[in-house]
Amino acid sequence: MIDIQLSQTAGSPIYKQIAEQVRQLVATNRIKPGEQLPTIRQLATSLHVNPGTVVRAYLELEQEQIVVTRRGSGTMVSARANDPRLMALHQSRLSNMVSSHIVEALSLGYSPQELEATFHIHLSRWREESKVLVDLSPPGGSKIGNLPAILVVASHDLALNILVSQFQERNRESDIRVAFAGSLGGLIALQEGRAHLAGIHLLDEETGEYNYPYVRHILPGREMAIVHLAYRIQGLMFAETNPRQIKGLEDLKRQDITFVNRQRGSGTRVLLDLELRRHGISSGDVRGYDRELDTHMAVATSIARGEADCGLGIEAAARACNLGFISLFRERYDLVMPVENYRSALLSPLMEIIGSSQFRNVVSGIAGYDTSQTGSTTFYQ
């Protein structure tokens, strides 16, 4: 039996509600072409309505060629989910739904920038919970129009997610692909010619400097551009009520605390290992050190599910998952690329977005981010 929910207080007649919900089920591919709908009697009984009401709904759908009724065979779906009429209906319903929530939030005093920032945070959390993966192809392997796809290999960051989203909104004929393979993975991808730019946040233990020492070491002699994306706060994330009474990194060696780690090569992992050495803590003393996840949001959702007691990550991920948070470090996140890429027509639209006030305002709306130097660029060889 198909899932239809009726409302006696809705403004539309019952038969209209039935027809509308069948359209949505077909548009979202939950009912496929060739599948048979319940008989008039079956649907009327399950919905506790008059059979004539179901007849009117089916007749309306048949007139739109969404269903077809054959004597002795019942009523079955004839339209496909990609039918232009259904696609338009599906998009219209989504647009109305989103618009309604936007108007409500604006009426409560939230700014458009706050709405966009919150949207991106929760979309990132949903993607993590749904295990959505992003495919990355070698440079030149994908083209939209006359330009190849922009290929980014980076450490996970929510500001980068927003940058990618704004690029896609403004440049619908272009393509951008991101692989979250860690900061070191990004620099190695640049070295091997497998990416156009890398997103990194790597603290050098000797100099206390972010990113530049690693770029000099891994990409020596190459003329590079380093574009500052944002400063962000890293710290310990844990359950909202802090049941384990976690106060700092020293608590990671307690055997009643289970940690969840980031993958090798990520800037957060490099930072953790450096700090463990400073505190005289062996990785073998940290319960859960060997469990690795690829993004801040993955760490946060793991803690929210109760799979671990704490992890190191950015404040924005903690807030998105309603976790407790102890601020420990302020770090810089930069985009690194060869100068010829920075000056290319391919990356020009991306650089324009980074320099825009719209981008800075949205990122500033995320907890734990500072955009005071966003867009500043350094060139060196």
At 55 the pLDDT is 92
- Evaluate whether the domain defined by 1-110 bears CATH number 1.10.10.10: yes
Which CATH number is correct for 115-380, 3.40.50.2000, 3.40.190.290, 3.40.640.10, 3.40.50.2020? 3.40.190.290
- Top pLDDT among 236 and 30 is at 236
- Six token digits for residue 143: 């083209």
- Top pLDDT among 7 and 141 is at 7
- Top pLDDT among 183 and 31 is at 183
At 130 the pLDDT is 54
At 3 the pLDDT is 85
At 90 the pLDDT is 61
The pTM (predicted TM-score) of the whole model is 0.69
Residue 107 CB neighbour total at 10 angstroms: 8
Q: Check pLDDT > 60 for residue 18.
A: yes
Q: Check pLDDT > 50 for residue 135.
A: no
Distance of alpha carbon 2 from alpha carbon 346, whole angstroms = 48
Task: Please check whether the two domains, 1-110 and 115-380, share a CATH topology.
Answer: no
At 167 the pLDDT is 94
Give the domain ranges of the chain.
1-110, 115-380
Least confident of 14-23, 50-59, 91-100, 319-328: 91-100
Distance of alpha carbon 259 from alpha carbon 325, whole angstroms = 14
Averaged pLDDT of the chain: 88
Least confident of 28-32, 179-183, 203-207, 326-330: 28-32
Residue 82: which pLDDT band, with cuts at 50, 70 and 90? low
Residue 86: which pLDDT band, with cuts at 50, 70 and 90? low
C-alpha pair distances (Å), 98 with each of 30, 104, 115, 119, 172: 22, 10, 11, 11, 21
Distance of alpha carbon 314 from alpha carbon 297, whole angstroms = 9
Distance of alpha carbon 234 from alpha carbon 155, whole angstroms = 14
Q: What is the pLDDT of residues 245-274, one digit of tens each?
A: 999 999 999 999 999 999 998 999 999 999
Q: What is the pLDDT of residues 276-289, one digit of tens each?
A: 999 999 999 999 99
Q: Check pLDDT > 90 for residue 358.
A: yes
Q: Check pLDDT > 70 for residue 24.
A: yes
- Top pLDDT among 102 and 303 is at 303
